[in-house]
Amino acid sequence: MGYIRFQDVSKSFNGTPVVKSVSFSIEKGEICGFVGRNGSGKTVIFKLMTGLLIPDKGSVTFGGANLTKQNRFFESLGVMIETPGFIPHYSGLKNLKILNSMSVNPVPTEEICALMTRLGLDPKNRRGVRTYSLGMRQKLGIIQAVMNKPELLVLDEPMNSLDTESVAEIRKLFTELNKQGATIVLASHIADDIDSLCTRKFRIENSTVAEVTEVHDEILVN
């Protein structure tokens, strides 16, 4: 039946269809990659998947539960879609501690600090997030998504603005989380992210979603 299931899902904005009659499923414990040109609908698919958008037609279910009808989010969910948003004058650690306090599965501050250190962020640095580089913000966004050990991770272009060393470490982190039971769904313009991490691959094109066996560079071009 599928851990995540899209059944005949459509979504339009101002009369323009972005997603048309899309059906696919993702099994628990998979790492699935989505590819497609900018504007193809990746972000809309991810927002539908996480309950941030409601489909005009069709259903999105998790473990057999139709979250759209129940009007609630999946309980154990880590998300990074578009530019991560933080309180700009608070430090990275303070932002993460606030988010952690609102989680259904809060973790010790020591674990958050260890994640920051692992990804090259200093938890003792008190400067505001507004002074962070794009890469530092991206790392902070990844940490907020993974720190509470969610069952499902949905990540839109998580490797944006990151250097080669950081990308390697984050790929390793995602692999570890998957081995611990997390289901991971990600989009990337980097073919190697999809090829090295993902057990299944999907292409978004012409408002539809199709499973593919190989990722070609030409479908990742902006």
pLDDT tens-digit readout, 121-174: 999 999 999 999 999 999 999 999 999 999 999 999 999 999 999 999 999 999
State the Cα–Cα distance between residues 79 and 144, nearest whole angstrom.
8
Eight-state DSSP code of residue 150: -
pTM above 0.85, yes or no: yes
Specify the CATH class of 1-74+151-214 in words: alpha beta
Is residue 163 within 8 Å of 170, Cβ to Cβ? no
Domain ranges, ordered by start, for the chain: 1-74+151-214, 86-148
pLDDT band at 221 (very low <50, low <70, confident <90, very high): very low
Phi, psi at 170, each rounded to 5°: -70, -35
The three state secondary structure string of 178-189 is HHCCCEEEEECC
On average, the pLDDT of the chain sits at: 90
